[in-house]
Amino acid sequence: QAKLKTKAKDPYPDWKAGTPVPYAALCTTFSLIELTTKRLEITEHCALFLRQVLRLTPDDFLPTVLLMINKLAPDYAGIELGIGESLIMKAIGETTGRSLQVIKADQKEIGDLGLVAVKSRSTQPTMFKPKPLTVRGVHKGLMEVATVTGNGAQGRKVDLIKKLLSSADSHSIGKIDIYQDKGGPSEAKFIVRFLEGKLRLGLAEKTVLVSIAQAVVCHEAEQEGKVPSTTQMEEGEAVLKTVYSELPSWDVIVPAMVSNGIMKLGEACKLQPGVPLKPMLAKPTKAITEVLDRFENQAFTCEYKYDGERAQIHYVAKDHADEYVNALPGATKEAAKGVASIFSRNSEDLSKKYPDILAKLHTWVKEGTKSFVLDCETVAWDVNEKKVLPFQQLMTRKKKDVKLQDVKVKVCVFAFDLLFLNGEPVVKKSLRERRELLHDAFVPVEGEFAFATHMNGQEIDEIQTFLDESVKASCEGLMVKMLDGTESGYEPSKRSRNWLKIKKDYLAGVGDSLDLVVLGAYYGKGKRTSVYGAFLLACYNNKTDTYETVCNIGTGFSEQVLEDLHKQLSEITIDRPKPFYSHSSGGQHQPDVWFEPRYVWEVKTADLTLSPRYKAGAKEGVDPSGEKGISLRFPRFIKIRDDKKPDEATSSRQVAEMYRKQEAVTKNKGPSADDD
C-alpha cells in the first residue's frame, strides 16, 4: 500500500493550484483502485484524490465526482449517452486507423472495449502531440456526445468520441511500472468504459459518497491546521448521507458543500421541489401474522396497494416559483397555475407522459397550499364504472409526448404520502402527522385524485377483511406501515422494515415476485422457431457489481409478447457474455445469444432451490461449499419493468433472504406435518 502511494505521488508536475485537473491524474487513481478489491483501500484512493482536487482546483470537484460515478448529470436530467458498442468500436477504429473487423475480433477475444482501445493505441505512432485532456474537458466532451440530436446525430457522436480518444494518453507522465499488467493508467480505457456505462472498478456511488465526506472533512481540518477526529469523520459522512438521500443531486450539493462546509450542509441543502428523491420501498411478507410479529406493540396502519405506476409529484404555485430548482434541463414543466413535474420510481421525468395530471393538479390543491412533493400511484381508471382498472391498461398509454386531447386511458392519482409542504420538508414527521397534513392540504376529485384508502385497525380479522376488500377493488394487496414515532418517518431510497407489503398472491408460495435482468436467450423450437423460446435471467449483486444467473424462463409469454421481445432484444445482442456476468461455464448451459444488461422483467416463482448451474447468491453463504447458487423453480413471466434499471433488479442478497425464509418455513412445517 505504502509503495503504491509513493509511486503515484505527484506524477503531474503541471497540475498547479487553479489549473484544470488533468484527466490523467484521475485515471491514475482509477488504476490504483483497479489494483485492489478492498473497500477501504478503494475509499482511501478516492478520498486522497478528491482532497487534492479540493486543495488545488475546487472548481473541478463536481466534474471529478461525476466522472467517478459514471454519470454526466443527475438521473432526472434525462441525459443519456445514447450509444452502443458498435458506435464505440467505430470510433476506436477510426481514431487508431484499425479496421472495424480487427476491433471486433479483439473485442471477441478480450471482452473489454476499454482494453481494446488501449491495445489499438499502442500500435499507432503519434504524429503530433495533442493538448492533454482535463477532467472538465472530458466531462464537457462526453456531455456533447450525449446532447447531440437531429439528423446525422450518430455520425456526430462518433466524431466527438474520436476527438476525445485522439487526445487521450498524451499527458507527459513517466512510465509507472505498477500499472503495466493492467495496461497502464490509460485515459482511452476509462473514456471507453465510461461510454459503455461501466468503469469496472467496483466503485459504487455509495463508496464515492463516503470518499467525498472524508475528503471534505480532512480538507476543512487541514485548512485550520488540524487533523480531524474519527467522530468528525463519522459526522461528516452521516450529514452527507442524509442530505444526499433527500436531495440526490451532486449538481446542487457540491457547490453548496464547497462554499459552506460539510457540517452545515443540512441547513443549506434540503429536500426541494424539482429534485426527485429515491422513493422509500417496502419489505415483502408472507402472512398477516408476520406483520403482527414485526409491529408487535407498535401502532401501524394498512393502505391499499394500488397496482399502477409510482409517481412523485413536485409542485410550486406560480407566486412562489423561485422555490423550484429549475436550472436543470428537463426538470420542470409548466402546469396551469404553477411549476410542476412528475417523476418515476427511477427519478425519470414523466411529465410528458401525464400532461392530464399536470393540467388538473392545481384543482386538487386547497387554498394556502403553495408547494409540495407528493408520493402517489397513478392507476388506470374506468370512467363509466368509476373504478380502478388493471395495471395492463395503464401500460397501453403512450410513454412520451402525450397530447392532452389524445389521452384515452384516464388515470386517477392515489396519494399515500407527503414529503414536502409549503417550503418545508416533512419527511421527519411521523406518518400519522404527514397523513393529516396531506388530507388537510388537498381536495379529492372523483376519478382524478384520491387519498389511498386506509384502515388503522390492529386485529388480524380486520386486516384480513381489509385485504379482501383491497383485492375486490383491483388492488395488489396491502401496504402496512408504522404509524407513530421517529421510525415512521419517510426513509428515502430505503427498503424499510417500517413499510411491509402483503400481496394477495403471496399468501402461498414465495413471498414476492422478483425483478430480473435478461442476459441471454435460446432459439425457439416448433411454433417458436422465428423468435426466442426461452431466456436466461439474473439478479444483481450490488457488492461486486455483477449479474448472477438465477433461472431459464419460457413460461408466461404470449406469442405477441415473444415477437415483441425478439425485436427488442435482437438490437442489444453481444458476441460473448460480459466479464461481469456470473454463470456456470459448462457448455451445455450456455444460451444461444447474449444481451447487454438492459431489460428488467418481473417474474414469479413456485419456490427456490439450490443448483450448481446458477450463481445467484452463491457468495451469500446459502451453500456451505459456495459452489451452488439459488435458482427459481417454475418461473413465470409477469411483465416488463420499464421503471427499473438493471442495477435496481432484485439483489443477490434479497434472493438469498427469500431462500432462507422459505427454508425456515419448510423446516418449521416439516416436522409438524410428519407428526400428524
464 or 666: whose CB is closer to ligand ATP?
464
Which CB, 387 or 589, lies closer to ligand ATP? 387
Q: Which three cell numbers stand for residue 315?
A: 409542485
Total chain residues near ligand ATP (CB under 6 A): 13
- Cβ count near 327 (within 10 Å): 10
Interface with ligand ATP, residue 282, by CB under 6 A: yes
Helix (H) / strand (E) element for 96: namely: helix 85-96
Residue 98 in contact with ligand ATP, rule: CB under 6 A: no
| Residue-wise burial string across 459-480, b where 16 or more C-beta atoms lie within 10 A, e elsewhere | eeeebeebbeebbeebbbbbbb
Quote the least distance from Cβ 75 to ligand ATP, whole Å.
16
What 426-430 contacts at long range (C-beta under 8 Å, 24+ apart), as own/partner pairs, is: 426/490, 427/246, 427/271, 427/489, 427/490, 427/492, 428/486, 428/489, 428/490, 429/489, 430/483, 430/484, 430/485, 430/486, 430/488, 430/489
| 378 three-class SS | strand
Contact in structure between 81 and 191 (CB atoms under 8 Å):
no
What's the min distance (Å) between Cβ of 517 and ligand ATP? 14
Determine if residue 299 is left, alpha or beta; phi over 0 gives left, psi from -120 to 50 gives alpha, anything else beta.
beta
- The smaller minimum CB distance to ligand ATP, of residues 51 and 604, is found at 604
Question: What burial letters (b/e) apply to 57-80, b meaning 16+ CB within 10 Å?
Answer: bbebbbbbbbbbbbbbbbbbbebe
Nearer to ligand ATP by C-beta: 438 or 616?
438
Stretch that binds ligand ATP, among 92-100, 299-307, 394-402, 440-448 (CB under 6 A): 299-307
∠ Cα 582 575 558 (to 5°): 80
Instruction: Determine the interface stretch with ligand ATP among 124-132, 226-234, 277-285, 313-321 (rule: CB under 6 A).
Output: 277-285
> Considering beta carbons, is residue 171 or 278 the nearer one to ligand ATP?
278
Q: Which of 349, 325, 333, 216 is nearest to 270 (CA)?
A: 325
**Contact region with ligand ATP (CB under 6 A), list: 117-125, 126-134, 305-313, 458-466:** 305-313
Is 416 a binder of ligand ATP (CB under 6 A)?
Answer: yes
Q: Is 198 a catalytic residue?
A: no
The β-bridge relationship of strands 281-284 and 495-503 is parallel
Binding span for ligand ATP by CB under 6 A among 6-14, 21-29, 39-47, 301-309: 301-309
528 near ligand ATP (CB under 6 A): no
Report the residue number, 279 or 489, with the smaller CB distance to ligand ATP. Answer: 279
Where does this chain touch ligand ATP (CB under 6 A) — which range of 55-63, 300-308, 328-336, 578-586? Answer: 300-308
Q: Rounded to the nearest whole angstrom, what is the least distance from the CB of residue 616 to ligand ATP in the complex? A: 17
Contact 516, 463 (CB under 8 A): no
Binding segment for ligand ATP among 135-143, 226-234, 275-283, 402-410 (CB under 6 A)? 275-283
- Identity of the residue, 305 or 397, whose beta carbon is nearer to ligand ATP in the bound complex: 305
Supply the minimum distance, in Å, between the C-beta of residue 512 and ligand ATP: 7
Q: Site mask, ligand ATP, residues 552-591, x = CB under 6 A?
A: ----------------------------------------
Cell matching residue 672: 409438524
CB of 305 to ligand ATP, least distance (A): 4
CB of 532 to ligand ATP, least distance (A): 24
| Site for ligand ATP contains 452 (CB under 6 A) | yes
Range 327-356, binding ligand ATP (CB under 6 A): 345
Q: Which residues pair with 602 in a beta bridge?
A: 515, 639
Residue 384 buriedness (CB in 10 A; 0-12 / 13-18 / 19+): exposed
Is position 281 an interface residue for ligand ATP (rule: CB under 6 A)? yes
Q: Rule CB under 6 A: say whether 377 interacts with ligand ATP.
A: yes
Contact region for ligand ATP (CB under 6 A) — 65-73, 141-149, 231-239, 302-310? 302-310
Joined together, the cell numbers standing for residue 240 give: 452527507
In this chain, which of 303, 348, 620, 657 binds ligand ATP, going by CB under 6 A? Answer: 303
> Is the Cβ of residue 504 or residue 589 nearer to ligand ATP in the bound state?
504
How far apart CA 287 and CA 228 sit, in angstroms, is 49
Place of cell 461525476: 66
C-beta of residue 364 within 8 angstroms of C-beta of residue 414: no
Determine if 286 is a binding residue for ligand ATP (CB under 6 A).
no
**Rounded least distance, CB 261 to ligand ATP, Å:** 35
Q: At its nearest, how many Å lie between ligand ATP and the CB of residue 364?
A: 17
Residue 378 or 611 having the CB closest to ligand ATP: 378
User: Do the Cβ atoms of 88 and 104 come closer than 8 Å?
Assistant: no
DSSP state of 651: B
306 binds ligand ATP (CB under 6 A): yes
CB of 226 to ligand ATP, least distance (A): 44
According to DSSP, the residues that pair with 310 across neighbouring strands are 377
**List 90, 119, 157, 305, catalytic entry:** 305
Q: CA Rg, the chain, in Å?
A: 26
Instruction: Copy the grid coordinates of residue 631.
Output: 435458482
Three cell numbers at 643? 421503471
Closer residue to ligand ATP, CB minimum distance, 136 or 604: 604
CB of 311 to ligand ATP, least distance (A): 8
Please name the residues in contact with 123: beta carbons below 8 A apart, sequence gap of 6 or more.
96, 98
Tell the residue number behind the cell numbers 484527466, with chain if given.
23
- Shortest distance in whole angstroms from residue 165 CB to ligand ATP: 39
- How does DSSP assign 60-83, residue by residue? GHHHHHHHHTT-SS-GGG------
Question: For residues 171 and 345, which CB has a smaller minimum distance to ligand ATP in the complex?
Answer: 345
Comparing CB distances to ligand ATP, the nearer of 451 and 522 is: 451
CB of 513 to ligand ATP, least distance (A): 6
For ligand ATP, what does the binding mask look like between residues 635 and 674, x meaning CB under 6 A? Answer: ----------------------------------------
Report 455-514 residues binding ligand ATP (CB under 6 A).
Answer: 479, 501
Q: Are 505 and 638 in contact (CB under 8 A)?
A: no
Find the helix packing angle between 230-246 and 250-260, rounded to 10°.
Answer: 140
Pick from 514, 504, 539, 553: which is nearest to 618 by CA?
A: 539
What are φ and ψ of residue 108, in 5° steps? Answer: -65, -40
Instruction: Spell out the SS3 assignment of 302-323.
Output: EEEECCCEEEEEEEEEHHHHHH
305 touching ligand ATP, by CB under 6 A: yes
In this chain, which stretch among 51-59, 135-143, 168-176, 279-287 interacts with ligand ATP, using CB under 6 A? 279-287
Is residue 395 a contact point for ligand ATP (CB under 6 A)? no
Active site residues: 305
Binding site for ligand ATP (CB under 6 A): 279, 281-282, 303, 305-306, 310, 345, 377, 416, 452, 479, 501
